[in-house]
A and B are shown apart, each in its own frame.
Chain A
Amino acid sequence: MADISANFLGIKSPNPFWLASAPPTDKQTNVLRAFEAGWGGVVWKTLGSQVKNVSSRYSAVDYHGSRVMGFNNIELISDRPLDINLKEIKECIRLFPDRAMVVSLMADNNKESWHELIKKVEDTGAHGFELNFGCPHGMTERGMGAAVGQDPHIAKMVVEWVMEKATIPVITKLTPNVHSVVPTGRAVVEAGTNGLSLINTIQSVTGIDLDTLVPNPYVAGKSVFGGYCGPAVKPIALKFLTTISQNEVTRRVPVSGIGGVSTWKDAVEFMLRGASNVQVCTAVMKHGFRIIEDMCEGMNNWMDEKGYKTIYDFIGKSVNNITHWEDLDINYHHIAKINQDNCIHCGLCYIACEDTSHQAINLDYGNPYNNYSVKDDDCVGCNLCKLVCPVDNCITMEEKRVAPEYMNWIDFQKKGMPLNDH
């Protein structure tokens, strides 16, 4: 059995799975249930000034019969009294001393408010802070949340205030509602944040009711942009994470990966791309806390199979595998091969290639079953056919290098090699 315990900035947890700051972590009942189920830690629902929520609050994107592929909300930070939150945080720490208790903060935009909040929360015995610079709705209008995260100068200033006062580790949570997370990431690392986490939710409109013509979620005939999260945002989160893992300043601090993590595989992917642990919100809001069991077991089995003893054996292992386009090897070539024994004759590869790609699949009419094969010379190796094929390993990509040596785009240009040959 591999060891999946984690140590994030000295904050220990039996596994690298924390619950992200959100409704699952906004009160003692939930958090105790999560700890009982086995979650390694929580980031308590963001505390700050008093707010008022509206009804309704959530909406989702379903895809091809699958519910909640993407999830969106227009909730604010905790709408419960601060003293109750603080009391409950203390109690949760007492009952589960081996779990990570990080508290998310979003104070009013002045130093005193931050310092006061930090003091109160530290008194609970919490292990760390997460600064919410990411919430894209409701709070931004008051110059908080994403409004802070979108401006590196403001973000830097707030982190400096926090670092003056805080005695426990500080993680700064970044907003994805920017073209790059690196400027703010750099600014807050330079201001002394101990760690980073990303992503918070992405501004979105999930859909519009075709009867009422009002977008979701519906509030008395109107809606607002909501924060998008869940499986749909994972690719975007991984991209932002990669830029943080690759930047020479931001990579100096540990990162907690967030955004669409639903399974142990997702978690492994975030960790391969440089996250030291992961946080989960939508997946538990859809399935409940019990998904933690497979997350732990799955990661453990995978680590055993690969021979990784601790999570630190694989964290960051894939960071360098994303490079610049001009460094890619132009002499690499592969082409699709349809394994006729596995083919179910659905024709999806054919029509995708024929209508939208390179007309590289041959159709041999039959009744009722057509046969399909790849025209090797016409295949550019784009993967489309393999992606749409409903059968695993029916279409494989076979390596057929153009030449044995590595050649990138720059050398290719220098040599005056032919362009536009497809």
Chain B
Amino acid sequence: MIKSNRLTKEQYEKNFADIHPPFETKEATLVEANRCLFCYDAPCTKSCPTSIDIPKFIKQITTDNIKGSAHTIFQSNIMGAGCSKVCPVEKLCEGSCVYNFMEETPVTIARLQRYSTEKAIEKNWQLFKRKASTGKKVAIVGAGPAGLSCAHVLSREGIDVTIYEKESKAGGLMTYGIAAYKVTPEFCKSEVDYITGIGGIEIKYNHALGQNVSMEELQKNYDAVFLAMGVGLARKIGIPGEELEGVVDAIEYIYRLRTNEYNALPVGDKVAVIGMGMTAIDAATQAKRLGAKEVTMVYRRSEAEKSCTQHELDIARLDGCATIWLAAPKEIVGKDGKVTALVCDVMKLGEPDSLGKPAPVATGETITLDVDMVIKATGQKPFEELVNANNVQNKYGKITIDNNATNIKGVFAGGDCVNGGKEVVDAVQAGKDGAKAILKFILNVEG
């Protein structure tokens, strides 16, 4: 049965409490900060898509220069606070910390980053000064990480920025997509306010490109345009039964979770999650935390090919989610229009496909899972129609760029809408890169 209000208020709170809690005390922070060796040409920095000078910001914590520390972080990544909570650091900075070579736990970089950036946001230290207005105007489509990061760099350089955002809140997937136990709506709002606090950035909410505003208008009214609208809902799997009641899209489901009280969100007794990426993990863990009795993740390849990190998979497993490898959904079975089972082909690994991963091939056998809810998390679908309608060159909806510029003069793009869906930190970097290209285009200066 799919129903809401499965748990008590306390249970929900416990289940969705911050998964990466901050340091409790300054002393604890210092003990950790002092572990940093201050590497030269540090591997952690090189593993950060935004190249934060990590040894420097950690050293600044030890010298009681928290303002300087926050500045070091924000200078490279204006969403440094959000990234400290959501980055898959196990495959980025912390994953390359040299302590790993000593079989020692890496320096908890994210937690230290959180320490400095949270202080900055809490105290509203505006650490960057906007240059005098240049009179130039840029429109940005999408107030997600890519758009916000681009806006901040541009505003610093005296550009007047207007962001067109289709939702009523900014932050993009940070606000609407990321697991509820990583960031809260309050945090997302404060981060956006902090970023726009520099001035010179206006966000027009409930303004969607293609609906409330057209590309022509943007091109006409602004000196440049930056497309940062991310990607859309999950792909259709294309199997019978996808229209049944109880089949939901992971992105949409998490959107509802992030915009409602926990008890308002219905969840099944037995839930199947299709996919093994980060979104699938988030859908599975959150379904479990909402009170589902059984959650099973099915993936058509084997564990070795999974696209989530081991750390994330461990979170799902510790939450009690089961995994079935080499099982490709074949049909969703229902009764009275409602889901009752998911039938999967049992697969085996064959020759490598175009991505170089061994392609799964059906063995002819099938398995049937008794479930009353199916969450589809098989990768997001780019806004192909929108970009085609505006003659933006793309590949299956992913915008093609050359030095951050699209095929249309004065129109730039970056973030998930270009890469098809990576991490927040990649989107932030794309925003910086886009801003740099835009500055060069409109001011003819190196940003």
Task: Give me the interface of A with B, judged by CB distance under 8 Å.
Answer: 64-65, 343-348, 350-351, 363, 367-370, 390-391
Contacts and interface: CB of A to CB of B under 8 A. Distances in A.
Interface in B153-188: none
Interface in B92-124: 96, 98-99, 101-102
B324 interface: no
Contacts of A350: 40
A347 B34 contact: no
The 7 closest A-B pairs by CB, nearest first: A347-B40, A65-B34, A368-B43, A351-B40, A368-B46, A344-B101, A344-B98
Interface in B44-96: 44, 46-47, 62, 96
Contacts of A390: 37
Nearest to A390: B37
A348 B43 contact: no
B37 A65 contact: no
Given A345-B98, A367-B46, A368-B43, 13 more contacts: A64-B34, A64-B62, A65-B30, A65-B34, A343-B101, A345-B39, A345-B43, A346-B39, A347-B41, A348-B37, A350-B40, A351-B40, A369-B96
Nearest to A363: B41
Contacts of A351: 40
Interface centre among B39, B40, B99 (most CB of A within 10 A): B40
Contacts of B41: 347, 363, 370
Contact of B47 (A343, A363, A368): A368
Interface centre among A343, A344, A363, A391 (most CB of B within 10 A): A344
A346 B37 contact: yes
B31 interface: yes
A348 B102 contact: no
B60 to A, nearest CB: 14
Contacts of A347: 39-42
A344 B33 CA distance: 19
Nearest to A389: B37
B31 A346 contact: no
B371 to A, nearest CB: 42
Given A65-B30, A367-B46, A368-B46, A348 B101 contact: no
Contacts of B39: 345-348
Interface string B18-42: 0000000000001101100111111
Contacts of B30: 65
Given A65-B62, A368-B96, A391-B102, A348 B34 contact: no
Nearest to B102: A344
Nearest to B38: A348
Contacts of A391: 102
A369 B100 CA distance: 12
Nearest to B92: A368
A402 to B, nearest CB: 31
Contacts of B43: 345, 368-369
Contact of A348 (B31, B40, B46, B96): B40
Interface in B218-240: none
A158 B102 CA distance: 58
B106 to A, nearest CB: 11
B56 to A, nearest CB: 13
Contacts of B99: 344
Given A64-B62, A368-B47, A346 B40 contact: yes
Nearest to A350: B40
Contacts of B62: 64-65
Contacts of A367: 46
B96 to A, nearest CB: 5
Nearest to A354: B40
Interface centre among A64, A346, A369, A370 (most CB of B within 10 A): A346
B393 to A, nearest CB: 30
A367 B92 CA distance: 12
Nearest to B32: A65
Nearest to B99: A344
A53 B50 CA distance: 57
A196 B47 CA distance: 59
B101 A345 contact: yes
Contacts of A369: 43, 96
B31 A65 contact: yes
Nearest to A391: B102
A363 B38 CA distance: 17
A347 B41 CA distance: 7
B63 to A, nearest CB: 11
Contacts of B44: 368
Nearest to B43: A368
B38 to A, nearest CB: 7
Contacts of A346: 37, 39-40, 42, 98
A175 to B, nearest CB: 35
A65 to B, nearest CB: 3
A66 to B, nearest CB: 8
B155 to A, nearest CB: 32
